[in-house]
């Protein structure tokens, strides 16, 4: 498995830990798993722990990812604009910054964090 999905009862947060690099094939496997928990728990706060992975997408794919994610989540009845996602990484680079910018430019609530506690605090706020 390339990711692990966990529901954090105490924080009412879905945590998705990525264990290998992120590409569209991984996205197409991860979205149904996350959507299942979103629908079961009625939870829209997601912690994306990508500290063990990196973005393995071209610049064009990063640009297209917000729309691709929107389409993938819609397949499972999830409105991406209701999601609040914290993107936890070990270091900020040009791809991760561009990834965050594209999400925000497409009206998605998405922010980069280097500290897990800060990410959880933001999700709960």
Residues 25-39: tens digit of each pLDDT: 999 999 999 999 999
Q: Kindly give the parts of the chain with pLDDT less than 50.
A: none
| Rounded Cα–Cα distance for residues 83 and 108 (Å) | 7
On the CB side of 52, CA atoms within 13 Å amount to 9
pLDDT number for residue 88? 98
Please give the mean pLDDT across all residues of the chain. 97
pLDDT number for residue 42? 98
**Strands (E) located in the chain:** 3-8, 13-18, 45-49, 84-88, 109-113
């Amino acid at each position: 498995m390339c990711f692990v999905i966990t529901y954090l009862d105490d924080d009412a947060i879905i945590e998705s830990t990525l264990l290998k690099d992120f590409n569209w094939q991984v996205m197409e496997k991860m979205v149904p798993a996350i959507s299942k928990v979103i629908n079961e728990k009625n939870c829209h706060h997601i912690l994306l722990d990508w500290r063990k992975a990196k973005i393995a997408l071209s610049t064009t794919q990063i640009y297209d990812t917000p729309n691709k994610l929107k389409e993938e989540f819609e397949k499972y009845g999830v409105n991406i604009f209701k999601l609040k996602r914290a993107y936890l990484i070990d270091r900020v680079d040009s791809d991760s910054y561009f990834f965050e910018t594209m999400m925000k430019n497409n009206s998605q609530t998405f922010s980069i964090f280097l500290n897990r506690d800060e990410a959880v605090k933001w999700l709960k706020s």
